[in-house]
Structure 1
C-alpha cells in the first residue's frame, strides 16, 4: 500500500492554475493531450491537501494547436499583454496560502498569470508557484511574480517536466514540495 500524506490543518489554501490541453511539446515532437500537464499537476496537489481549487480560464481560449499558441504567447509577452480571464476572479481574503500553477512558455509563465495576480489581492499570503515545463524548469517564474509586486511572500516553487507529470515520481516530488511548504505534516499508511 502506498503511504499518503496527511494534510496540515489551520491554513486556508487555494490552488489556482492555468492549463492548456491539445497539441503539446512532447520529447522533441508533439502529442495531443486530453488533459493539460498543469491540470494533471494541480490534481496531484489538490488530492493531497485540504484546499479550494480555481481554474484560470482565458476569455479568448488559446488554440488547441501548438504553433498558434506559441505565436500568440510570444506576441503577448512582447506586448506585456494582460489576456482577459473568463468569469469572476476569486476573493482571496480568506486564504493564507496560494499555490499558483501554470505551464512555462518561453521561459516564463504565460501572461494570463499576470492578469490573475494583478486582479486579485495577494497581500499577506504565502505564494508558492508550481509549473510544468519542457526544457527550462521554473524559468523566470520567481522574478516574473516578484516584478508584479503582488504583496505576497514568494516561496519556493515546484517544477515538473510535462512529459513526466503522469509518472509516479511526480507524486513524490509533489509530496516533498508540500512537506517543505508545511502543507503536509506527516505520513500515514
Structure 2
C-alpha cells in the first residue's frame, strides 16, 4: 500500500496539562500523543481529527488516572464532543492514544464503536511511560474485525519531541510515508 494512493486520517486522543513523563509530573502545553499525531500529519499529509470527550478529564494527573481506571473497570464509553462525519472517505486511519492501564483510553473505544471502519486499514500509535502498546492492538483487532490492523508504534512520552526519526522509519517500513 502506498499512502500517495490512499486518503488517510490521523484520529487521536491526547491530554495536555499535568502528565507523568520520565518519572515526574510535568505540565505539557501539548499532549504527547498530539505531538506524534502532528509528525504523522506532516509525513503523510493526512487529515487530523482530535478525539475529545464531552466532559474533560480532571486537570490533576492522579485524578485522571483514577477516572481512567474506573472507566476501564466498568467498560465505560465516555461521550464524544464531536463525531467525524466523513469517515467513509478515508482508507487509512492512523489511531493515536496514550496507553492508559494497558490499553487505549475508553474514549477511543467510543470512537471505534461509533465509526464504521469495515474494510479500512488501521495504523495504531501510542505514547506511554514504559508499557508500550500494551494490549491495545489486540483490543483494536477485536473491535474492528473487518479492518486490517497494521504494526503499531509506541513512543515513550519523554522521547516524543525527538521522535521524528522513529516515526519516519516506521512510516517508511509500512510504505505509508508520503513521497515528496
TM-score range, shorter-chain basis? Answer: over 0.9
| 1:57-136 correspondence runs (5 A) | 57-136=52-131
Which consecutive unaligned segments of at least 5 residues does structure 2 have?
Answer: none
Once residues 51 and 149 of structure 1 are traced to their aligned partners in structure 2, the CA distance between those partners, rounded to angstroms, is 21
Greater helix share, structure number: 2
**Structure 1 residue 65, shift from structure 2 partner:** 1.1
Residue by residue, what CA displacement relative to the aligned partner does 1:152-188 show, whole Å, maximum 9, x if unpaired?
A: 1111001100000012xx10111111112211265x6
CA spacing shift, 1:87–1:174, aligned 2, 3 Å:
same
**Structure 1 residue 89, shift from structure 2 partner:** 2.7
CA contact (8 A) 1:117 1:150 kept: no
User: Which moves more between the two structures, 112-121 or 146-155?
Assistant: 146-155
CA spacing shift, 1:124–1:150, aligned 2, 3 Å:
same
CA spacing shift, 1:124–1:31, aligned 2, 3 Å:
same
CA contact (8 A) 2:43 2:178 kept: no
Q: Which runs of 4+ in 1 moved over 3 A?
A: none
1:10 equivalent to 2:5? Answer yes
**2:169 corresponds to which of 169, 176, 186:** 176
CA contact (8 A) 1:91 1:120 kept: no
**Structure 1 residue 150, shift from structure 2 partner:** 4.8
TM-score, normalisation: structure 1? 0.90
TM-score, normalisation: structure 2? 0.95
- What RMSD in Å do the two structures reach over aligned CA positions? 1.4
Which consecutive unaligned segments of at least 5 residues does structure 1 have?
Answer: 1-6
Aligned to 1:38: 33
Structure showing greater radius of gyration is 1
